C-alpha cells in the first residue's frame, strides 16, 4: 500500500522538504561563523517555551517562537559585546534551556508523549495549519538567505571588512539570530529540537567535501538537505521508524559516503601523479 496516498503523509513529506531546504541555507552561515552548535542551544531555549506554553495552556509553538527569538537575540548581544565567549554563552543556553524546559513540563499536566513530540519530532501529526506555518516561514528563511547572500557572507567571513564596506553588520547579525530561532522552532515538528542542528550542519559539511566556492557549497548543501528530508520520510514510512531520526541518519550516512569517496579520490590522484625529480642545476657540483 502506498502510504503517500494519505493526507498526513503528504503533509509530512512537504513539511520535511521545506525544512530540508531552509535549514542548510541558514546553516552554511552558522558554519562559516563557527557557530555550528547554536541550533542546539536555541532548541533548548525553545523547549523552555514549549514547557511554558503547556503550563499556561497557550500554544506551545507560539510561546517557543518567542522564547527562541529572545534566546537568539541574547546570545548575539553577548557575543557582539565580547564580555562572554561564544562557547560559554552557548553552554548557558544549553543547560538553562533544557533545565527550564524539563521543570516547566513537569509542572504542567502534559504527558511524556507530548514532550517527546517536541524533543524528537512528530512529523506525521502535522496539521494543515502547521504545514502552512512551516511552508511560509521556511520559504521566507530560504529566500532571505539566498537574496542576502553577498552581505551575509561578508559579515560571516570578516565583520570588520563588512563594517568598513558600509554594511549594517548589527542588523544582519540580528537577522541571522532571528532566522535561526524561527528555523529551530518550525523544525520541531520535523526532526525535534534535539536534532535540528544536525540538519543545519551535516549537509553543509557534506557539501564542503566536494565543492570549492561558497555559492556551490550552499547549492549542494540545500540539495543534500532536500535528499535527506525526502528520503528520510520515505524510509520512515516504509520501515516504520521515527521520521526525524531517519532524516538525520540519512544526512550523516551521506556525509560518510561523500567523505570516503573524496578521500579515495585524493589517494588515487596522488598515485596517478608521477613524482617529479628535479635535475641538478648546471653550476651544482656533485661531491663523492
Per residue in 215-273, pLDDT (tens digit) is 999 999 999 999 998 898 888 888 888 888 888 899 999 999 999 998 888 888 888 87
Which of 122, 244, 22 is closest to 30 using CA atoms?
22
Mean pLDDT for 205-216 is: 90
In which element (H, E) is residue 93 found?
helix 86-107
Q: What is the pLDDT of residue 33?
A: 83
Within 8 A by CB and 6+ apart from 161, the residues are 154
Which of 169, 172, 199 is closest to 183 using CA atoms?
199
Q: What is the pLDDT of residue 110?
A: 61
Q: Is the distance from CB of 77 to CB of 99 less than 8 angstroms?
A: no
Give CA–CA dist 135/130, Å, rounded: 9
Average pLDDT of the chain, as a whole number: 81
Mean pLDDT for 178-204 is: 83
**Selected residue with higher pLDDT from 75 and 214:** 214
Please report which confidence band the pLDDT of residue 64 belongs to, taking 50, 70 and 90 as the band edges: confident
Q: What is the pLDDT of residue 280?
A: 56
What is the SS3 assignment for 264?
Answer: helix
Within 8 A by CB and 6+ apart from 87, the residues are none
Q: Where does residue 91 rank: exposed (0-12), middle (13-18), buried (19+ CB within 10 A)? A: middle
Give CA–CA dist 49/61, Å, rounded: 8
**Selected residue with higher pLDDT from 219 and 188:** 219
Q: Where does residue 239 rank: exposed (0-12), middle (13-18), buried (19+ CB within 10 A)? A: exposed
Q: Is the distance from CB of 20 to CB of 202 less than 8 angstroms?
A: no
Question: Which of these ranges, 41-45, 82-86, 150-154, 234-238, has the smallest mean pLDDT?
Answer: 82-86
Amino acid at each position: 500500500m502506498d502510504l503517500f496516498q494519505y493526507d498526513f503523509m503528504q503533509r509530512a513529506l512537504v513539511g520535511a522538504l521545506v525544512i530540508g531546504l531552509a535549514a542548510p541555507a541558514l546553516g552554511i552561515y552558522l558554519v562559516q561563523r563557527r557557530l555550528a552548535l547554536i541550533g542546539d542551544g536555541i532548541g533548548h531555549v525553545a523547549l523552555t517555551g514549549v514547557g511554558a506554553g503547556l503550563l499556561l495552556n497557550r500554544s506551545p509553538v507560539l510561546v517557543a517562537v518567542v522564547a527562541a527569538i529572545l534566546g537568539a537575540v541574547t546570545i548575539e548581544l553577548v557575543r557582539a559585546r565580547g564580555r562572554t565567549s561564544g562557547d560559554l554563552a552557548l553552554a548557558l543556553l544549553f543547560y538553562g534551556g533544557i533545565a527550564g524546559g524539563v521543570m516547566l513540563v513537569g509542572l504542567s499536566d502534559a504527558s511524556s508523549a507530548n514532550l517527546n513530540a517536541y524533543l524528537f519530532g512528530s512529523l506525521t501529526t502535522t496539521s494543515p495549519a502547521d504545514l502552512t506555518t512551516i511552508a511560509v516561514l521556511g520559504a521566507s528563511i530560504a529566500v532571505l538567505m539566498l537574496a542576502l547572500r553577498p552581505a551575509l557572507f561578508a559579515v560571516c567571513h570578516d565583520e570588520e571588512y563588512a563594517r568598513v564596506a558600509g554594511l549594517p553588520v548589527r542588523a544582519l547579525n540580528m537577522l541571522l539570530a532571528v532566522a535561526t530561532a524561527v528555523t529551530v522552532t518550525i523544525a520541531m515538528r520535523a526532526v525535534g529540537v534535539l536534532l535540528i542542528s544536525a540538519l543545519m550542519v551535516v549537509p553543509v559539511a557534506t557539501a564542503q567535501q566536494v565543492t570549492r566556492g561558497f555559492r556551490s557549497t550552499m547549492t549542494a548543501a540545500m540539495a543534500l538537505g532536500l535528499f535527506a528530508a525526502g528520503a528520510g520520510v520515505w524510509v520512515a514510512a516504509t520501515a516504520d521508524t521515527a521520521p526525524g531520526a531517519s532524516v538525520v541518519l540519512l544526512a550523516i550516512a551521506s556525509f560518510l559516503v561523500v567523505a570516503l569517496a573524496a578521500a579515495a579520490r585524493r589517494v588515487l590522484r596522488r598515485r596517478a601523479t608521477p613524482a617529479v625529480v628535479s635535475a641538478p642545476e648546471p653550476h651544482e657540483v656533485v661531491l663523492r
